[in-house]
Each structure stands twice: as C-alpha cells, then as structure tokens.
Amino acid sequence: MLSVRWLFFRKRLGPLPGGYIKQLLSRVEGWLSYHEALYLYALAAAGPAEGKIVEIGSWKGKSTVILAKGSKQGRREEVYAIDPHKGGPDQEAHGHKDVDSEMEFRNNVRQEQVADQVRPMVMRSDEAATGWSGPVRLLWIDGDHSYEAVRQDFLLWEPFVAPGGVIAFHDTYAWEGPRRVVEEMVLVSRKFAVIGLVDSITAVKKLSGAEPLVLLRSYCLLFARYLYKLGRRHVLPGDLRKLSKAVMKWLSSVG
Ligand SMILES: C[S@@+](CC[C@H](N)C(=O)[O-])C[C@H]1O[C@@H](n2cnc3c(N)ncnc32)[C@H](O)[C@@H]1O
C-alpha cells in the first residue's frame, strides 16, 4: 500500500487509520480484507473527480462505514448505500437464509457515527438507477454476484460515473460473475485504466483524456495480474504469486 500511503501524506489528510479499520472489521460483520478496507477508505477520501459515492450491496454496513469515514475525512460527498436488505443466493451460500439486514445496517452506521454521511436506499440497484441523476465519482459494486447481475449493475450505473471517476468491483477472482464482467467488459475497454488491484478488488478509472502515466501503470498492473492468475492456477510457483500480489498492491493508487 505504499503508493496509497504516499498519496495520503501528500494530500495532508493524515495517515490511514489502520487501528480503527482493524477494530471496525472485527465489530461489523461482512466481507472485506484489511487492505481492501484501507484502499476503499483512501478512494473515498482522496479519489479523483467530483460526484456522489454509490455503493451497490451494503449488507450490514462494513464497506458503507469505511467509505463514509474516508469521505468524511476528506470532506467529500455522501455515500448512497443501495441494498434491498433481503439477502439472496450469495448470502444463502454463506448460511444466511431469509435475512433482513436493514436494522443491523442502520445500527452499525449510527454506532460508527457516520449516519450523517450515509443515504440508505432500501431497494434493488436497478430500481435505484431508474430514479438516479447526477454524477457519481466512486461506484462500488458488491451486490448480487451472479454474472447477469454484475453485468446489469455495470451497464446501468457506468453512464453516471463522471469522467475521471472510479469504479471498484469486489470479489474479482474467486467469484465468476464479477471476474467475468471485469475481464470481458472492463479490462479490455479503452475507456478505463486499472488503478488498483488490492486483494479481490479491481478498481478502474474512467479516462477523461490522454493520461499516459495512468495508462502505463495500468499495463504494469495488468501484467502483474496476469502473473498472479497463473500463480493461482499453479502454473507458476507460489512465491511468484505472492510477489505479483504484493506488486499489484504496491502499484495501486487512488487516481
Ligand atoms: C456481499 S454482500 C455486500 C457486503 C458489503 N459490501 C460488506 O462490506 O460487508 C452483498 C449484498 O448485496 C445485496 N444485494 C443483492 N441483490 C442486490 C441488488 N439487486 N441491488 C443491491 N443490492 C443487492 C444483498 O442484500 C447483500 O446485502
């Protein structure tokens, strides 16, 4: 995370609150690694472009709180947290049947003191997109993980992302849906450059013009990702997989 830390110092926002984030991760149920949480926080605090932050898939508010804390620290935009809070096949696969996560979500947001920074939208992402207007500078896609749903989230919400804004996808290796959407529709598109590969997050920037350095880093990240994926398939030794993962983190930035 060197480059993210460096950017933080440069922007004089203070160091990343690693201690708080570790405690939050153990307090609020959900699925985020420590480095993923740090990275989301940095994107929310210091990411490029202007506009709202939109989260698709809040569950009990783990990533919502991280995004809101980061955005608050950077004195930036509110987080629109979209989730019908009825669970679904992904949650059932994790043993959560017939859940209603709304109350815990609201309690967590309140207890972590970010209620003023979060706008809950208790509905499906396609319903939310229908009534949406205005630019989004950070779109966090972590809702229904089926291929069709992730594809729909991307197609419906990408047009709202401001030039220079960021789309971050979760679970982009082990989950077929997000991985295929990222590989088939995003990484191959000349509209986007990869800016962050942090654990299972893939973050891309919507290019707003010629950005040769951003593109150069994107190609380096993509090469490291290629090696990492060979390592995951045991085509390359495990040490090389670990090294490529560390390189991806090191090259990751917020803009
Ligand atoms: C993997 S969880 C999100 C985890 C959360 N981001 C965290 O940090 O803990 C996926 C969430 O997506 C929600 N979801 C499922 N279908 C959705 C849809 N069509 N629109 C928005 N959210 C959806 C589920 O209710 C569930 O809470």
22-37 per-position pLDDT tens digit: 999 999 999 999 999 9
- Name the residue at shortest CA distance from atom 5 of ligand 1: 58
Higher pLDDT, 64 or 253: 64
Is the CB of 123 inside a 6 Å radius of any atom of ligand 1? no
Q: Ligand 1 centre from 198 Cα, in Å? A: 20
Please state, in angstroms and rounded to a whole number, the distance separating the CA atoms of residues 37 and 128: 25
At CA 25, angle to CA 239 and CA 19, rounded to 5?
85
Asked if 254 and 71 count as a contact pair (C-beta separation under 8 A), the reply is: no
Range 90-119 average pLDDT:
88
Asked if 146 and 120 count as a contact pair (C-beta separation under 8 A), the reply is: no
- Tell me which H or E stretch contains 221: helix 212-232
**Model confidence pLDDT, tens digit, residues 216-252:** 999 999 999 999 999 988 888 888 889 999 999 999 9
- Range with the lowest mean pLDDT among 48-62, 95-109, 111-125, 203-217? 95-109
Q: Ligand 1 centre from 140 Cα, in Å? A: 11
Q: Ligand 1 centre from 229 Cα, in Å? A: 26
Is the CB of 137 inside a 6 Å radius of any atom of ligand 1? no
Mutate which of 59, 80, 99 for ligand 1 pocket (most atoms within 8 A of beta carbon): 59
Looking at the predicted structure, is the pLDDT value of residue 50 above 90?
Answer: yes
The pLDDT assigned to 12 comes to 57
Looking at the predicted structure, is the pLDDT value of residue 9 above 60?
Answer: no
Q: Ligand 1 centre from 95 Cα, in Å? A: 15
Higher pLDDT, 161 or 3: 161
Coil, helix or strand at residue 136: strand
Domains of the chain from N-terminus onward? 2-210 (3.40.50.150)
Is the CB of 51 inside a 6 Å radius of any atom of ligand 1? no
Higher pLDDT, 123 or 235: 123
Looking at the predicted structure, is the pLDDT value of residue 68 above 80?
Answer: yes
Q: For the chain, how many helices (H) and strands (E)?
A: 11, 7
Copy the structure tokens of residue 204.
């891309």
Q: Ligand 1 centre from 92 Cα, in Å? A: 12
Region of 113 please: left (phi>0), alpha (psi -120 to 50) or beta.
left
- The model carries a pTM of 0.94
Judge residue 10's burial from the number of C-beta atoms within 10 Å of its C-beta, 0-12 exposed, 13-18 middle, 19 or more buried: exposed
pLDDT class of 52 with cuts at 50, 70, 90 = very high
Please state, in angstroms and rounded to a whole number, the distance separating the CA atoms of residues 145 and 240: 29
Is the CB of 32 inside a 6 Å radius of any atom of ligand 1? yes
**Residue 130 DSSP class:** H
Looking at the predicted structure, is the pLDDT value of residue 4 above 70?
Answer: no
CB proximity list for 11: less than 8 A, separation 6 or greater: 46, 74
Closest alpha carbon to 78 in 31, 127, 134: 134
Copy the structure tokens of residue 219.
């190609």
Helix-, strand-, coil-residue percentages of the chain, each rounded to 5:
50, 15, 35
- Helices 238-251 and 2-10: crossing angle, nearest 10°? 10
**Model confidence pLDDT, tens digit, residues 135-183:** 999 999 999 999 999 999 999 999 999 999 999 999 999 999 999 999 9
